[in-house]
């Protein structure tokens, strides 16, 4: 199983980045893909997920209207389009896969139910 994030980088406040999560080794359509972020010294934060079987999505309040999650089942890849970036979005961003799609809402955003994780990609937003 592999999840490989890419697309992070340094951007000015108000700018955009598109993160990708390329996966292999599991049946993509049966899983939810979540995006998480972590700042050193703080707890990991789940920010968005998509269930690949039906395209249902979830966002935390702080990213609603700015971030958009999507996935391509044929490419087994998920994306996180991040617009109107703020300095407080600076973090290491991870994607993860969960087969526990019987959960919904914030219950499917808990990191403990994600089975596979990527290594992360750094996003830095300068003010």
pLDDT band at 82 (very low <50, low <70, confident <90, very high): very high
CA distance to 17, 59, 65, 104, per residue, from 62 (Å): 17, 8, 9, 19
CA distance to 27, 42, 62, 113, per residue, from 70 (Å): 17, 27, 18, 20
What pLDDT score does 4 carry?
Answer: 98
Mean pLDDT of the chain: 97
What pLDDT score does 89 carry?
Answer: 98
> Residues 29-67: pLDDT tens digits?
999 999 999 999 999 999 999 999 999 999 999 999 999
Percent of the chain surpassing pLDDT 90: 100
Distance, in Å, from the CA atom of 28 to the CA atom of 52, rounded to the nearest integer, reads 7
């Amino acid at each position: 199983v592999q999840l490989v994030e890419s697309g992070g980088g340094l951007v000015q406040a108000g700018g955009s980045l598109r993160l990708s999560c390329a996966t292999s080794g599991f049946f993509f359509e049966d899983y939810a893909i979540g995006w998480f972020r972590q700042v050193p010294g703080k707890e990991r934060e789940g920010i968005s997920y998509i269930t690949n079987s039906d395209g249902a999505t979830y966002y935390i309040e702080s990213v609603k209207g700015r971030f958009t999650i999507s996935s391509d089942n044929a490419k087994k890849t998920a994306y996180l389009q991040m617009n109107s970036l703020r300095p407080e979005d600076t973090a290491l961003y991870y994607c993860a896969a969960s087969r526990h799609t019987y959960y919904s809402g914030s219950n499917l955003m808990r990191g403990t139910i994600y089975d596979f994780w990527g290594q992360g990609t750094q996003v830095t937003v300068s003010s």
